[in-house]
Every structure is written in C-alpha cells, then in structure tokens.
C-alpha cells in the first residue's frame, strides 16, 4: 500500500475550502447568468445548450450533456423545448444513426448574437469582482490549477471541447466586431 501524501485534516480542509469557494462563486455566476438571460425567457440550461450548439456546430446530445455538465436526459429535454421554440433542430447522421445531433436555426443563431451584443445591459458581479486583478496584472485571472483539477475529474475530452468552444467564441466575437464597425 502506498504511503498517504496528505493528512485527513489537510484533505478535509481542502475539500471544505473548495466546496465553500465553489458554492460562493457559483451563486454569483448563477445570479449574473439569470439576469443576463431573463429578457429572453430562457433558463440557464437552455442558454447553455444554445451556447454549446452555437460554438460546437452540430454537437451530439451526448456532447451537449458532457460539456454542459448535465444528464443526457436533461440535455435532450431542454433541447426539445428549444426546438419547439424554433431555436434548434434535431438530426441524425448517415454515418451515425445512434446519436442525435442538435444545430441552431437561424433564429437561434440570431438570439445568441443578440444576447452577446446585450451582455453589458445587466450587472455582472463576477466580472466586477475580477476587474481589480485585471487592473493589477493586466489580465483577468487564469484558472490553470482549476483546469488541471477539472481535467482530472472530467477528462481530456472535456478540456478539449472547452478549449475548442472558447476558440470558436473568440473568433465569432471578432467576426461580430468587424461586421459592426
């Protein structure tokens, strides 16, 4: 049996610190997110599915669930509601009949773009709370340690999807910036 590299006390303190900080941060993120999407009559799961669909372009329900950190049935049920509202379409692929794929409609794409353009119409306490660090260091906080923990929990696929979606997000913001200038 390998020697334990930490004490029970260290493990408990670490776990509780992560729990308390995560809960406090999530509460602020959730409030900010809900205020941002409220005018569009969406909940957080619906917005997250639209966001994932926008950036992953043709994601499977399994991909949406995995990246959205939700159960597959949750991803499917909320996607179905979005389809009923005209924001998503469902499809099967000829080379993959087992998986269901979702794609944004033109209406769904327009909604995401509009929401992005109206981002600053609501308060964002997490952003505001980070600005002092941006002023001090010239950049927003990075989450390398947190990313490493998430990679160890959810795997490399999760991080790959995360990075790919943010690369697409950055590109789409640049394209939107150029078309509005």
Q: What pTM value is reported for the model?
A: 0.84
Digit-coded pLDDT (tens) for 33-79: 999 999 999 999 999 999 999 988 889 999 999 999 999 999 999 99
For residue 153, give Cα distances in angstroms to 67, 111, 112: 13, 33, 29
Nearest C-alpha neighbor of 19 from the set 9, 7, 11, 30: 11
Domains plus CATH for the chain? 45-180 (1.10.10.10)
Digit-coded pLDDT (tens) for 166-180: 887 788 777 766 565
């Amino acid at each position: 049996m390998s020697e334990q590299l930490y004490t029970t006390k260290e493990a408990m303190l670490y776990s509780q610190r992560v729990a308390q900080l995560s809960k406090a941060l999530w509460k602020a993120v959730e409030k900010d997110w809900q205020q941002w999407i409220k005018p569009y009559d969406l909940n957080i799961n619906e917005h997250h599915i639209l966001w994932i669909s926008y950036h992953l372009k043709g994601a499977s329900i399994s991909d949406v669930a995995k990246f959205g950190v939700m159960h597959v049935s949750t991803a499917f049920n909320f996607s179905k509601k979005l389809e009923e509202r005209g924001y998503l379409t469902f499809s099967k692929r000829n080379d993959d009949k087992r998986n269901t794929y979702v794609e944004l409609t033109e209406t769904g794409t327009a909604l995401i773009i509009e929401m992005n353009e109206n981002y600053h119409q609501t308060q964002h306490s997490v952003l505001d709370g980070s600005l002092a660090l941006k002023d001090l260091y010239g950049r927003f906080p990075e989450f390398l340690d947190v990313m490493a923990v998430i990679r160890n929990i959810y795997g490399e696929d999760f991080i790959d999807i995360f990075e790919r979606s943010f690369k697409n997000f950055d590109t789409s913001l640049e394209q939107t910036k150029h078309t509005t200038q």
